[in-house]
């Protein structure tokens, strides 16, 4: 028990770090190019923030939150997502004060209590962006493009971009009512979850995994029959901009997303080989969220992508980078005096920004040479009696096996 991490969590081991860094470096480059600045918010927040922001009646709030009472009697929740937290930080720190658009990105752990399976964890990592303060559909297109460009720049193929509009506070209630009416006629055929959804959140019935293939869901009324002019024009403009940018997308009237705050544009980028957890990235517009959390009416839009899911997709497509060579130099010493000289050399090299290591287990020279080869170092620097006497070091190139003796004080030059 003590040696098992909690179910649904994963250690990220040194051998996996090259993949994480690869993805994180792409994220940072892309965010710089797109003009998004990094924000880091706390891993836990007041529970109410998520209840209000994400919405009661959603699976995330009703079933999946890690909520506890802290020692001061407050209800605290580990963040299940970061949009509500970013909006809270935007308001608390008055990031709106300069006026205009605020563009932010984040990476970090999120927590959801769900049944773990491939691509679904209880602690997982998201990269996300949020743009607050502008309702131009060009921003919707920018956000979708950012998500798309990230995944494409990693080399991923077979991605599907699906988009939809979920309407706004004006037209969505009309659609909800229409759906409630329609699904009431099929009440007995709905799964237990959807029976509950019928009152609280009838749009979620459309993307139910259990009921998904049933014919009456396929035939359910589409939102386009209820959209107000503003939502219709907004969505048409987003599509036009995406087409102009050469991005291929599919319209999916059943894409409703699992969080309550969405308005107008909703989108997902899916990778079918992930199976049941096929969504790599998801997001959309949330023009009512800032107000819901206590700010002045402010439009917003964003998305998040699961980093573990990206890594699974990269692995499936053989796109993970090889682990980096670990060291420039491995110092091999024979005897106690050589160890002192070697340790001094080790420190000097490291201070010159050369990565170096040595044996700490007092192994034989032969065993140290084996270790040097295994470490992936470029050079073995060998210090024996002869070298100590002449203040020199034998440098062995571990790739070519070429060997030469050079003065100790010149050793840093071979790494130049």
Residues that bind ligand HAM (CB under 6 A): 81, 83, 112, 114, 119-121, 124, 126, 128, 130, 258-259, 279-284, 302-306, 308-309
Query: Which of residues 103 and 378 has its CB atom nearest to ligand HAM in the complex?
Result: 103
CB of 86 to ligand HAM, least distance (A): 8
CB of 198 to ligand HAM, least distance (A): 22
| Cβ pair 359, 368 in contact under 8 A | yes
At residue 176, the 3 state secondary structure works out as: helix
Where do we find the tokens 């009646």? 57
Query: Which of residues 179 and 259 has its CB atom nearest to ligand HAM in the complex?
Result: 259
HSE, CB side, 13 Å, CA atoms: give it for residue 406.
Answer: 14
Query: Which of residues 114 and 149 has its CB atom nearest to ligand HAM in the complex?
Result: 114
Q: What does the longest C-alpha to C-alpha distance in the chain come to? A: 95
CB of 53 to ligand HAM, least distance (A): 9
CB of 213 to ligand HAM, least distance (A): 22
Per-residue CA distances from 295 to 16, 20, 69, 104, 138 (Å): 41, 36, 27, 18, 24
CB of 413 to ligand HAM, least distance (A): 48
Cβ neighbours of residue 122 closer than 8 Å, sequence gap 6 or more = 6, 7, 8, 9, 111, 112, 113, 114, 116
At residue 127, the 3 state secondary structure works out as: strand
CB of 147 to ligand HAM, least distance (A): 10
With both helix axes pointing from N to C terminus, report the angle between 17-34 and 137-153 in degrees, rounded to the nearest 10. 150
Query: Which of residues 141 and 279 has its CB atom nearest to ligand HAM in the complex?
Result: 279
C-alpha to C-alpha distance for 389 and 199, rounded to whole angstroms: 87
CB of 202 to ligand HAM, least distance (A): 20
CB of 224 to ligand HAM, least distance (A): 22
Distance of CA 159 to the CA centre of its chain: 17
Query: Which of residues 255 and 369 has its CB atom nearest to ligand HAM in the complex?
Result: 255
Backbone angles phi, psi at 257, to 5 degrees: 65, 155
CB of 255 to ligand HAM, least distance (A): 11
Q: Which residues pair with 268 in a beta bridge?
A: 162, 282
HSE, CB side, 13 Å, CA atoms: give it for residue 403.
Answer: 7
Of 310, 293, 290, 309, give the one whose Cα is nearest residue 301. 290
Query: Which of residues 82 and 392 has its CB atom nearest to ligand HAM in the complex?
Result: 82
HSE, CB side, 13 Å, CA atoms: give it for residue 143.
Answer: 34
The tokens describing 221, both together, are 């009324």
Backbone angles phi, psi at 69, to 5 degrees: -95, 125
C-alpha to C-alpha distance for 403 and 386, rounded to whole angstroms: 15
Query: Which of residues 54 and 331 has its CB atom nearest to ligand HAM in the complex?
Result: 54
Query: Which of residues 194 and 255 has its CB atom nearest to ligand HAM in the complex?
Result: 255
Query: Which of residues 307 and 358 has its CB atom nearest to ligand HAM in the complex?
Result: 307
């Amino acid at each position: 028990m003590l040696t098992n991490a909690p179910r649904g969590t994963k250690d990220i081991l040194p051998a996996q770090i090259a993949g994480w860094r690869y993805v994180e470096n792409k994220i940072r480059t892309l965010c710089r190019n797109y003009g998004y600045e990094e924000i880091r918010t706390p891993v836990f927040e007041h529970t109410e923030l998520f209840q209000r922001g994400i919405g009661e009646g959603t699976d995330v709030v009703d079933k999946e939150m890690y909520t506890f009472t802290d020692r001061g009697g407050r209800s605290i929740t580990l963040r299940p997502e970061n949009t509500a937290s970013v909006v809270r930080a935007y308001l608390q720190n008055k990031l709106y004060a300069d006026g205009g658009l605020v563009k932010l990105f984040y990476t970090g752990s999120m927590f959801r209590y769900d049944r773990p399976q491939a691509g679904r964890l209880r602690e997982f990592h998201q990269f996300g962006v949020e743009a607050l303060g502008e309702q131009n559909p060009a921003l919707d297109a920018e956000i979708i493009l950012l998500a798309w460009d990230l995944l494409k720049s990693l080399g991923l193929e077979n991605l599907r971009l699906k988009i939809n509009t979920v309407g706004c506070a004006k037209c969505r209630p009309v659609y909800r009512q229409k759906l409630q009416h329609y699904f009431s006629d099929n009440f007995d055929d709905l799964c237990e979850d959807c029976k509950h959804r019928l009152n609280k959140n009838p749009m979620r019935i459309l993307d139910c995994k259990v009921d998904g293939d049933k014919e009456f869901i396929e035939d359910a009324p589409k939102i386009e029959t209820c959209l107000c002019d503003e939502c219709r024009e907004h969505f048409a403009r987003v599509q036009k901009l995406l087409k102009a940018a050469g991005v291929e997308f599919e319209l999916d009237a059943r894409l409703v997303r699992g969080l309550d705050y969405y308005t107008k544009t909703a989108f997902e980028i899916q990778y079918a080989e992930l199976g049941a957890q096929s969504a790599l990235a998801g997001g959309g517009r949330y023009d009512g969220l800032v107000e819901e959390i206590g700010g002045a009416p402010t439009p917003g839009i964003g998305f998040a992508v699961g980093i573990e899911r990206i890594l699974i997709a990269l692995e499936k497509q053989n796109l993970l980078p090889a682990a980096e060579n670990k060291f420039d130099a491995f110092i091999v010493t024979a005897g106690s005096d050589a160890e002192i000289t070697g340790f001094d050399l080790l420190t000097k090299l490291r201070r010159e920004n050369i990565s170096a290591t040595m044996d700490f287990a007092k192994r034989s020279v032969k065993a140290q040479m084996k270790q040097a080869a295994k470490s992936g170092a470029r050079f073995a620097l060998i210090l024996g009696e002869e070298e100590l006497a002449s203040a020199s070091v034998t440098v062995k190139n571990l790739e070519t096996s070429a060997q030469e003796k050079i003065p100790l004080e010149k050793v840093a030059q071979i790494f130049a």
